[in-house]
Amino acid sequence: MKNESAFWSVLSWMFVVVVLAIGLVNVFWGNDSIFGVFICLLALVFVPQVNTLFKKITGIRIHFIVKIILGIFILWAALGVGELFDKIDMMLQSF
């Protein structure tokens, strides 16, 4: 059970890093800085310590299925609607 918990914790942190990177690209390149900040804030849902604090304060646990749906929504919004690849091209051209 401990190994399984560690696996999900590492997976959550990896997803947080990816989502934060997507958010930062949207903040600094393109015209969607508010969208980028929103994506960065949504990344907090996947931080295990934030989940523990949220449960302690509200008594409500964010279920695994909700996190999966939210993760799919973030990826869909960033890749499709947010035109992430175009923004990455802009970022690379600015270097």
Contact call for residues 19 and 80 (beta carbons, < 8 A): no
Residues 62 and 72: their CA atoms lie apart, in Å, by: 16
Q: Taking residues 23-39, what's their average pLDDT?
A: 83
Mean pLDDT across the stretch 82-89? 73
pLDDT score recorded for residue 36: 85
- 9: nearest Cα among 40, 43, 49: 49
- Tokens 């799919």: give the residue: 72
Q: Which residues contact 34 (CB under 8 A, 6 or more apart)?
A: none
pLDDT, average across residues 25-48: 85
Q: What local confidence, expressed as pLDDT, does residue 1 receive?
A: 52
Q: Which of 30, 38, 21, 28 is nearest to 86 (CA)?
A: 30
CA 25, CA 90: separation in Å to the nearest integer?
A: 10
Q: What spatial distance separates the first Cα and last Cα of the chain, rounded to whole Å? A: 46
